Amino acid sequence: MPWDNDMSDVKHHLTEALLMSYAAGTLDEGYALVAASHISLCDACRAELQSYEAVGGSLMDDADAVHMSEDALEATMALIDAAPAVRPRVLKSDRVLPGPVQDYVGGDLSDVRWRAVGGGVRQAVLKTGDKSMARLLSIPAGAAMPDHSHGGLELTLVLKGAFRDEDGRFGPGDVEVATEHVHHTPIAEEGEDCICLAVTDAPLRFKGLIPRIAQPFIGI
């Protein structure tokens, strides 16, 4: 399914807390990548982000002036250069990957360097600088991911196809926010492989023995 930037059917969005953290620039790079990708595809979250940024700008305008050192500008610019800049980028094209993900891959889906991890599932780890780990996942149509819970926060953005789990159906543009309280078994819908961007900050907690044995080798 190509992106046409009309994501009126998106049903699962970023939380208010995630959007506010993204607007403030406090999200880890991996989570910021999910946020930027979802925002570039979702009119509702893009509008909400703009409102948060407007509030932040207004607060800065109303703040009292403070004394700054002579090298303050130089130090600030150095921090900006060093920080990962993951911003929404809306593309009007027939590509599968949203703009922010294309920047990490260096192209579209055909340019992804997949690695098989078993059961027909493939993954490609994206290089991010913070503690969160970002990966693209390709799950065969009809296949189930192992039953698991989480040691931290997992954000999963669907880019193509769809999957279902205990929390409902997630299609293109939808993002699932799974905390340590979520225990689920995602299953890709029949008819089309499911391509997702998934970011975690802690290893998954698999219920089955085989996934637990394989976990150190596949890095999930």
- Do the Cβ atoms of 159 and 195 come closer than 8 Å? yes
Give whole-number Cα distances, 132 to 21, 46, 49, 155, in Å. Answer: 15, 23, 22, 10
For 154-174, what is the mean pLDDT? 95
pTM (two decimals): 0.77
What are the tens digits of pLDDT across the range 13-47?
A: 999 999 999 999 999 999 999 999 999 999 999 99
Architecture of the domain defined by 106-218:
Sandwich (2.60)
d(CA 22, CA 35): 7
What are the tens digits of pLDDT across the range 43-91?
A: 999 999 999 988 654 444 444 555 555 664 464 444 444 445 566 665 5
Tokens linked to 204: 């998954």
How do the domains of the chain map onto residue ranges? 106-218
Q: What is the DSSP string of 46-114?
A: HHHHHHHHHHHHHHHHHSPP----TTHHHHHHHHHHHS---------SS-SS-HHHHHHHTSSGGG---
d(CA 36, CA 38): 6
